[in-house]
Each structure stands twice: as C-alpha cells, then as structure tokens.
Chains A and B, each alone.
Chain A
Amino acid sequence: MNRKFSHTTILALVMIGILLLMWALNGSQFLRLGNFQSMAFQLPELGILSLAMMVTMLTAGINLSIIASANLTGIVTALILTRFVTPETTGAASFAIVILAVGAGLLTSAAIGLLNGFLIANVEVSPILATLGTMTLLNGVAIVMTKGYVISGFPEAIRFIGNGQILGIPVPMIVFIACAALMALLLTRTRMGVSVYMLGSNPTACHFSGINNASVLLKTYLVSGLYSGIAAIIMMSRFNSAKADYGESYLLMTVLASVLGGTSAAGGFGKVSGLVIALVILQIISSGLNLLRVSNFLTIAIWGGILILVMVINYVSEQYQKRRTA
C-alpha cells in the first residue's frame, strides 16, 4: 500500500458515506426514481457554473462575474424571444427565433468572456479585481436593460431545454454531462489544457517553455464566459423568466464546489471528475435534507462544514503520508 490516497478517493468515500447516511435517515423514499430525477434537474445549473469557475481557478485566477454574465445572457436571450415571438408565430418560425435568441445569448457571454480575458491577459489586472469590476458592471447593464423587472413568458421550444426529458433523462442533465465531458477533454487531451495547468502552477516557467500566457488566459476566460452562457439558457428556461439578480447565492457555491472537488485556489491542480463528485455530494445532502424537511439554511451551513471537513481530512492525510515517507 504505497499508493497515496488521492483527493478523489477521499471524496468518493465521503460521497458513499453521505449517500448511506441519507438512505438510513430517509429510508426507501430516498432511493425512488423520482427523487433522483429531481436531483438531476437541480444539479446542472450549479454544475455548469462551477465548471466555468473551476477552469479559471486552474490558472490561479477566479471569475466572480459568472453569475452576472449568466443573468445578462439570459436577459439578452429573453428580450429577443419576447420581442419577436407572438402568439401568431408558427412552430417553425418560433423554432428559428429560439435558435437566433440562444445564439445571440451565447455570443453575448462569449463577448463578456473576451472582455474579462482581455483585462486579465493583456492589461494584466489581477483576476479577482477585473472580474469584480465586470461583475458590477454587467449587473448594472442587466438592471438598466430590464429596469429591474422580470422578463417572462417564453415559447414552448425554449422551455424544453430546462424541463424536458429524453429517454427519462432530464435535458439539463444531458447538457451538463456534455459540458463536463467537453471540459475534461479540453483539459486533458489538448494543448490548451496542458498549458492551463502549467500556467496555474508556474506562470514564469510556462512563459519560458514557449507558451503564450496571454493567449491561454484569454481562451480560458472565453471558455468560462461561454459556460456561464450555457448555464444561463438552462436557468432562464427552468424558471421561465430572466432577471438581473437571479442566482446570486450561486457565486460562492461554485467556488465551494470547485474547491471541494480538489481544485486548488492557488492554481494548477484540479480535475473535472473531482468536481462532479463534489457536486453530487452537495446535491445528495441538499435533496436528502429536503426530504427530511430540514431548513435550506441548515443545508447551507452543512455544505460549509463539509468543505472544511474535507480540507482538514486532506491536510491530515497529507501530513500522515509525509511522516511515513520521511
């Protein structure tokens, strides 16, 4: 047994432990198909946003603007939909408008990603400052565009993205799995992915090994922006509305999920698989406690507790292994 316990192993053990605990507390009710389906509807929003956060954390950065960017994307899409789709619009035309609206939304989120990337890569603003600024700015633009009101009432086609099912699997879940798989491929199988990890562990070494740091950073924030845009489409379709201040509590949760999943805040380390397990842990806790009719706020407190617990276990096992090898 010379192999050391990896973070993912610890996480997987914690997940099984919590799953068993929730099963014991809730009985057979917890294992019903319906319960898993409702979990599969709730997890993707936070999941995709967490992917958007995680990729920037790998480069030792952070993207505080993901929620604001998601809301602005949602609003752009919603405004196009409500402006052009009238009750008389036929199926095919309404479908075309949905495609156009979603396209415009994703374009917005990509532009936001490029703005963040430009500030961080080219102007060399520290990521936390740049995205703190764009977060406030984007939120402001969203408020100005909507005057603070809710935009709602979308055609059927868009509601399918958030609420539909294919072969019993919720569409948001399918989108999430696709996003996670793509991100994993990008990080492990491409030149850019390797550069992201190198840049995160040591930017100077990365620069001297012939990598264009600025271009890697720009692409990282572009991907982050696009992912927040995808999350936005799912969010607006699930709520059937868009507003400037939806999901603000998600922001710190995405950092929490990433870190719980083994992404280092100092950059350079973290895997998509770890993040996915972390998201499942958070979702099991929240659904399990919900079945027990425990207050949402206790769930939040327990999430915080789990984060510290996992970090402490990590630390202790690291110290233990250090002592054994020494």
Chain B
Amino acid sequence: MKRLLASYETFVFLVIVLLCIIITWVNPNFLTLENLFDLLKSYSFVGILAIGVLFVLISGGIDISFTAVATVAMYVMAVIIVRYGGNMLTAFLIASVIGIILGMVNAVIIYFFNIHSIITTIATLNIYYGLLTVFSGGKWIYALPTWFREFTEIRVFTLTNANGIEYGLSIITVIWFALLALAWLILRYTMIGRGIYAMGGNPTSARRVGFDVLRLQLFVYSFMGWMAGIAGVILALLVQTVAPNSIVGKELDVLAAVILGGASLTGGVGSLWGTMLGVALIAIMGNGLTMMRVPAFWYNVFIGLTIVISVSANAYRHKRKKKRAIAVEIE
C-alpha cells in the first residue's frame, strides 16, 4: 500500500483525477460517456504509438523514426487498397509488414554498426520520409474505398444521447485495447518481455545471463515498427485522407506522453499502466481546455508546464532519495 502511494503512476493518476474534477466543475459535459468514448477513439492513434515507444524506451534505446514508419506504412497501404482493392485485414497486413521491415532495418543498423539508437533513427526518419515524399510527389489520397470508410463507423455497442445522436465504443478503441493486452502479456509473461527489461537495465549482464541481445533488439524495433504500421492505418481510418506530411513532426509529442507516464530514458523502467496514464493526461488536458473554452493557442503552454512540473517533481524526489541514502550509509 505504501509503495502504491509513493509510486509515480499514482501521482499522475491523482493529477488526472484533479484535472477531471476541475474540468467537470466548469463544464459538466466533460464527464459523459459520449465524450469519453470520443476521446478513446481519437487518441487511439497516439495510444498505439505510445505502446511501441514504451518498448523501445524500456529496452534502453529510443526511436524517433516511428512517425516516418507510420507514414510510409499508411501511404503504401492506401495506394495498394485504392488500386487493387482488398479488405480491412489486407490493409492491416500490408501496413504491419512494412512497419516491421522498416523497424528491423533500424535494429540491424543499431546492432551491427554499434551506432546509437537516437542517431540511427534520426537518420532513418529522414531517409524514410524523404524517399516517401519523393516517390509520392507529396500527393494526398482522398478517394479511399467505401469499406474503408464504413469500418470506422462500427461500434461494439451503441447508445443514444438526449438529442437522439448515436454514440458508443468504437472498434478502433477495441483494436487499441487489444494491442495493449497483447503488449501487457509480452512484457509480463514472456521470456522476451523479461529480456527487454533486463537489456534496458544492463545490456552486459543481460548478455551474460544468456539473453540473445540481437534477437531482443530485432524484436523491440520491429514491434515498434508494427505498432507504427497499425497506427498509420488507424490515423487513415480516423481522418479518411492520407497525407505524406501528416504525422512526421509529432514524434516528440508521443515521446512526451510516454515520459509523462514515468518511463525512463536510461532504460529498464516503465509500465504500460503509466504510459496509458501519460496518454490520458495529454488527451484530457487537450479536450478539457476545449471544454472549458480556453482559446486553442494556450494548449502548448499547459502541456509544456505539465511536462516541466512533473519531470521536475520526479527528479527532485529522486535527488532527495539519493541524498537520504547517502546519509544512511554514513551513519
């Protein structure tokens, strides 16, 4: 119980609760099922990307190229389904394969040439995105098939609000939650999951203990690529247009959400629960400001303040803990 109270995740959770109370106090429409389902649908894109980023951060690396991977997967998928047709399954399959391959390219460069992951992925971000824009000519794709449009409307269950407008839990949210469950199983119950934590904590010991670091690296970066591929399809479903420049540039926003959730950049630390709280915090803040009729241009000020304050509070706590530990040693 004491550990639960002291954990960083609990702190974020309390901030979210406080935020919800303030927003609901100003605008009661905030705390309705309709708004909740709406948020869960529109933030599934960020949520899915955050899962992948969390895996990479736990493993002790970082990936900046995921926005470009998502864009390439989304664009190629759209070109193929527009030209040759298909169904939802093929759309996800195409995007997944592309995402996994591009992720593997990252892993191979990082592992075999011993290049830092941030450098590798900054380079591949530019390569993937640059080449895509050259080959696509920067053209937007609007004419997506009808079945692609209809898929977005599927709801697991449907409710009706006072004005007779239907709403409910979207299939897109279900996909997000299914991926979350899968990621949770991997991290918690598989050898690979334990290996990722071990590698992030200390790569040399992980190797000594007998983990195959190359295979773990390949897994982590292709998993990130896979998430990026699926997130690409989800974004195309949400906005129903495919633009080569719609995602690149947002990499630090997703990273911010994961970091707000308590993942450490030095590896070995981070939880799905925390990551989802981080995404929720960003989502609620954005939505809440709109609900409270705060002009949109204040948005970044609040997000920025939240990041600065929360990372400072966390760092300060660590600093004090360290000092106390040293004091004990001296006694």
Interface check B312, CB cutoff 8 A? yes
Judged by a CB distance under 8 angstroms, whether A167 is at the interface is: no
Which one of A140, A248, A249 contacts B301 once the chains associate, using CB atoms below 8 Å?
Answer: A140
In the bound complex, residues from chain B placing their C-beta under 8 Å from that of A133 are 256, 304, 307-308, 311
Would B115 and A308 count as touching, CB distance under 8 A?
A: yes
Given A125-B311, A133-B311, A297:B133 Cβ within 8 A: yes
Give the chain A neighbours of B252 by CB distance below 8 A: 64, 132, 135
**In the complex, A126 Cα to B62 Cα: how many Å?**
14
Among A144, A298, A308, which residue has its beta carbon within 8 angstroms of that of B298?
A144
A265–B252 alpha-carbon span in the complex (Å): 18
Nearest neighbor of A251 in chain B, beta-carbon distance: B252
- Selected from A137, A301, A307, the residue in CB contact (under 8 A) with B304 is A137
Q: Which residue of A lies closest to B116 (CB)?
A: A265
A83 to B308, CA, bound (A): 32
Q: How far is the CA of A141 from the CA of B305 in the complex (A)?
A: 10
Chain B residue with Cβ nearest A249: B249
Contact partners of B255 in chain A: CB under 8 A: 132
| Cβ < 8 Å to B, chain A residues 270-326 | 295, 297-305, 307-308, 311-312, 315
B124 — which chain A residues lie within 8 A by C-beta? 304, 308
Q: Let me know if A123 and B297 touch, CB within 8 A.
A: no
Is B113 an interface residue, CB under 8 A from the partner? Answer: yes
B230-268 contacts to A, CB under 8 A, are: 249, 252, 255-256, 259, 265-266
B308/A119 in contact, CB under 8 A: yes
Bound-state CA distance A299–B131 (Å) is: 9
* CB of A285, distance to nearest CB on chain B (Å): 12
Q: Is B292 in the interface zone, CB < 8 Å from A?
A: no
Q: Which residues of A are found within 8 Å of B127, using beta-carbon distances?
A: 301, 304-305, 308
CB contact list, A236-270 vs B, under 8 A: 248-249, 252, 255-256, 259, 265-266
Q: Is B119's CB under 8 angstroms from A130's CB? A: no
User: B126 and A134: CB pair below 8 A?
Assistant: no
Report the minimal beta-carbon distance from A88 to chain B, rounded to whole angstroms.
33
- What CA separation (Å) do A241 and B122 show in the bound complex? 29
> Please, how many angstroms separate the alpha-carbon atoms of A147 and B295 in the complex?
10
Smallest beta-carbon distance B249→chain A, Å: 6
- Which single residue of chain A is at the shortest CB-CB distance from B307? A133
Chain B positions within 8 Å of A123 at CB level = 312, 315-316, 319
Q: Are A129 and B259 in contact (CB under 8 A)?
A: yes
- How far is B120's CA from A305's CA once the two chains are assembled, in angstroms? 10
Interface assignment of B64: CB less than 8 Å from any CB of chain A: yes
Q: Given A132-B256, A133-B311, A137-B308, are A256 and B123 also a contact pair (CB < 8 Å)? A: yes
B303 near A: Cβ within 8 Å?
A: yes
| A248 / chain B contacts, CB cutoff of 8 Å | 249
Q: Which residues of A contact B134 (CB under 8 A)?
A: 295, 297-298, 301
B156 interface residue (CB < 8 Å to A): no
Determine whether the beta carbon of A141 is less than 8 Å from that of B316.
Answer: no
B277-307 interface code vs A (CB 8 A; 1 in, 0 out): 0000000000000000000011111111101
When distances are taken between beta carbons in the complex, the residues of chain A under 8 Å from B259 are 129, 132
| B85 beta carbon closer than 8 Å to chain A | no
> Is B118 a contact partner of A136 (Cβ separation < 8 A)?
no
Measured CA separation A135–B255 after assembly (Å): 13
A225 to B255, CA, bound (A): 23
Check if A137 sits within 8 Å of B307, measured CB to CB.
yes
Q: Is A73 an interface residue (CB 8 A)?
A: no
Residues on the A chain within 8 Å of B118, using CB: 255, 265
A128 lies within 8 A of chain B by Cβ? yes
B109 at interface by CB-CB < 8 Å: yes
Q: Which of A124, A130, A138, A252 lies in contact with B122, CB distance below 8 A?
A: A252
Distance A261 CA – B316 CA, assembled complex (angstroms): 35
Binary contact readout A95-132 vs B (1 if CB under 8 angstroms, 0 otherwise): 00000000000000000000000010001111011101
List the A side residues contacting B303 at CB < 8 Å. Answer: 136, 140
Which of A171-216 touch B at CB < 8 Å?
Answer: none
CB neighbours of B265 from chain A (8 A): 126, 128-129
Q: Mark B119-153, 1 if CB is under 8 A from A, else 0.
A: 11011111101110110001000000000000000
Interface 0/1 of A19-47, CB less than 8 Å to B: 00000000000000000000000000000
Known contacts A144-B301, A248-B249: A126-B315 contact under CB 8 Å: yes
Task: Report the Cα distance A124→B138, complex, angstroms.
Answer: 43
From residue B57, how far is it (CB to closest CB) to chain A in Å? 11
Q: Is the C-beta of B114 less than 8 angstroms from some C-beta in chain A?
A: yes
For the complex, give the distance between the alpha carbons of A149 and B129 in Å: 28
Residues of B within 8 A of A305 (CB): 123, 127
Question: Judging by beta carbons under 8 Å apart, are A129 and B113 in contact?
Answer: no
User: Which residues of the other chain, B, contact A129 by a CB distance below 8 angstroms?
Assistant: 259, 265, 307, 311, 315
Q: A125-B312, A129-B307, A315-B115 are in contact. Are A301 and B125 (CB under 8 A)?
A: no
Tell me the bound Cα distance from A147 to B109 in angstroms. Answer: 43
Q: In this complex, what residue of A is CB-closest to B322?
A: A124
The distance from the CB of B304 to the nearest CB of chain A, in whole angstroms, is: 3
**Chain A min CB distance to B303 (Å):** 5
In the complex, which residue of chain A has the Cβ closest to the Cβ of B315? Answer: A125
Extra inter-chain contacts (12) besides given A132-B256, A137-B304, A138-B304, CB under 8 Å: A124-B318, A125-B315, A132-B252, A136-B300, A136-B304, A137-B301, A140-B298, A256-B123, A265-B119, A297-B133, A308-B109, A308-B124
